Amino acid sequence: MLKTKVNDLVVYYSEDDDIETIVRIIKNNYDMLFKSYVDEGYSFSTVPRDEDEMCVHTDDFQKDIGYLIEQYYYFTGDNILGNHENLSALYAMLLLQMSGVKNPFFDVDYEQTAEMTDTVIAKQYYLANGTAEDFIEYAKYRDPEESKKILTWLRETCRYETYNYILGRVADFLRDNGFDYLATSTSNNIFIDVIKSYGESQEKEYDLPKMSPEEIDKLFYDFLKYINAPDSWRKIYNGLKRKDGIEYTVTDGPEASYCYRNDIDEDYIISIKYNGTTTGFCSLVHEFIHYITFLTEKFNFSLAEFPSIYFEKVAANFLKEKGYSQEVVDETIASRNENNIQILMGLSTIFTDVNTYMKKGVITREDKIALWQNQMMEVYNLRQKYQEQLKALGKPVEPLAAFPSIEQIERDVDIDCDDSTKQFIVSDLFLLDGYQYLLGTSLAESILSQQGNASIPSMIDVVHDIPSYDANSIAEKFGIIKDSGNKNNMKKEKDINQ
C-alpha cells in the first residue's frame, strides 16, 4: 500500500490507482469537500484499511467522488455561500480573487475561497447550460477551457448588473467614509473640471524660475508670516530642520514629495524631489501641512489631502504677491499635480460613473450608450468645425471618418464596461488617492474662490482640530455656497438619457 498527502489529508492508495487524477480531484475540491475530513481526523483510502484507523474508504474513487460532489453541492452547497448567491456578487468576488488585490471597497469574506466561488458559479452555469453530470465532471477536473466558457457566459449574463453591484459597493464605502460630499454638492463633473483646468495649463510650457533649497527655506519663513501662522508652526519647522527632517533632491525626472514615517525612530520626515524651481516651495508647504496634521490623532481619511491642497494654493497666491506672474503660479501648481492628474485621467470614466450612480442610482446599458453617443457627437462636431476652418484657409481636407454604427457603439460600450469593472477590481488604493485629491481640491477651490485669504485664520484652526471635521462640516464652517450650475447639469443629464 502507498501513501501520499494532499495538503493535510493523508491518502492511501494501491499501485493500480491513477493517483495523479485522484490528487487532482481532491485538490480541486479540497476546501469544500475534503478539508472537513482533516478537521475530523480522517484519512482517505482507495484500499481497505484497519478498523482502528479513522479512514474514509472508497473502492471506486472517481465514481464515488462524483456521487459525493452531487450530494454535497446540490443539497448542502446552497447554504455555504450565504449572501453571495447572486451572480453579479459572485462574479465580482471571482474577479477579486483572481486579481489577488486587497481592495478597500469590498468587504471580502476571506473564508470564501476561490474554489468555493468557482464551484457555485459553475453550478449556476450548468443549471442553465448543461446537466448535473457536466457539473460533476467540471468540479472534478476544472478543465481550463471549460472555465473560460463559464467566465464568458458569466460576463455576458450579468455585465451591467456586476458593474452596478461594484458601483454600489464603492458608493457605500465613499458614503461611510465621508466622501459623499463630492457627489451631492458640487457640479456634475468635478472630475472633468479638475482634469481640464490642469490639462489646459499643462499644454503650455514655461521655464519656471529656479529656486534652491536655501531660497525655499527663506521663502517659507516669509510664508508663515504671510498666513499669520501660530508661533508653534515656526517652532515645529525649526525642529524638523534641526533633526534633518527635510530632504531635497533635484531631478530631471518625475517630481514626487512625501511626508512619511521613517522606520528607524518612527518619526515623520519630509522628502522633496523637485525640478529645481518654484514647484519645490509649493511642495514644502503641502508636505509641511501634512506633517502638522499627522501630529494630531487619527482623522477622517477623506480629508487627508484637503488642508495640504488648500495651503498649497495659498502658497501659489503668495508667490504671485511676491511678484511672480500668473502663468508661473498656474504652471507651478499644474506641474506639482502631474502625478495626481495621471491617476485621475486613467480613472475618469469610473469617477464619472460613481458620481452618476451616487446621484441617481443604477446605470443601465442604455444610459452608457446615450452618454457615449453624446461624447462621440461632440468630438465629431469639433472635427467638422476644424475642417471648415481648414477649407476656409484653402488647405486640403480629408473626408471625415463615418460616424460609428449603433452596433459598433454598443460593442464599444460593452467593452468599456468590462474594462471599468476590471479597473475597479485592481485599482486598489489608487482610486482612493484620487478621491482624497478630488475632495481636497473641490473643497479648497470652493473656499478660496468664495472667500480668498480671509479664510486662512479659520483654516489654521481646522488644521489643529482636523479630527473633528468631515467634508460636510467643513462646507458648513466656511459657508460654501453650493454650485448653482448643478441644476443645469442635472437637466442636461436627463436630456441625454431620454
Residues that bind Zn ion (CB under 5 A): 305, 308
Count other Cβ atoms within 10 Å, centred on residue 252.
Answer: 6
Nearest distance, CB of residue 339 and Zn ion, angstroms: 10
> Of 371 and 448, which CB lies nearer to Zn ion in the complex structure?
448
Closer by beta carbon to Zn ion, 300 or else 420:
300
Nearer to Zn ion, 305 or 470 (CB): 305
Which run of H or of E encompasses 347? Answer: helix 338-360
Distance, CA of 230 to CA of 90 (rounded, Å)? 54
Minimum CB–partner distance for residue 285 and Zn ion (Å):
11
**CB 291, min distance to Zn ion, A:** 11
Stretch (H or E) spanning 10: strand 9-13
> CB 428 → Zn ion: shortest distance, Å?
18
- What backbone torsions phi and psi does residue 142 show, to the nearest 5 degrees? 45, 55
User: Phi and psi dihedrals of 43, rounded to 5?
Assistant: -110, 180
Q: Which is nearer to Zn ion, 154 or 344 (CB)?
A: 344
For helices 190-203 and 338-360, the axis angle rounded to 10 degrees is: 160
Of 32 and 270, the one with the shorter C-beta distance to Zn ion is 270
Comparing every residue's Cβ against Zn ion, the nearest one is 308
- Are 260 and 234 in contact, with CB atoms under 8 Å apart? no
Specify the residue, 11 or 460, whose C-beta has the smaller distance to Zn ion.
460
Nearer to Zn ion, 65 or 309 (CB): 309
Least distance from Zn ion to the Cβ atom of residue 303, Å: 11
Q: Which is nearer to Zn ion, 117 or 340 (CB)?
A: 340
Inter-residue contact 173 to 358 (CB < 8 Å)? no
Instruction: Give the residue with the Cβ less far from Zn ion, 165 or 248.
Output: 248
Q: Residue 206, class by beta-carbon neighbours within 10 Å (0-12 exposed, 13-18 middle, 19+ buried)?
A: middle
What is the C-alpha end-to-end distance of the chain, expressed in Å? 73
Residue 299 C-alpha cell reads as 482623522
CB of 208 to Zn ion, least distance (A): 20
| CA 296/CA 291 separation, integer angstroms | 9
Asked whether 46 and 23 are in contact (CB, 8 A), the reply is no
- Shortest Å, Cβ 267 to Zn ion: 18
Contact 150, 92 (CB under 8 A): no
Cell of 393: 484657409
Q: 188 vs 340, which CB is nearer to Zn ion?
A: 340
Closest distance to Zn ion from the beta carbon of 316 (Å) = 15
Among 478, 460, 465, 494, smallest CA distance to 226 is for 460
Q: How far is the CB of 336 from Zn ion (least distance, A)?
A: 10
Contacts of 348 (CB under 8 A, 6+ apart): 191, 192, 195
Q: Supply the minimum distance, in Å, between the C-beta of residue 458 and Zn ion.
A: 21
Nearest to residue 95, comparing CAs of 435, 421, 491, 468? 421
The C-alpha atoms of residue 326 and residue 25 are separated, in whole angstroms, by 69
Spatial distance between the Cα atoms of 162 and 27, rounded to a whole number of angstroms: 29
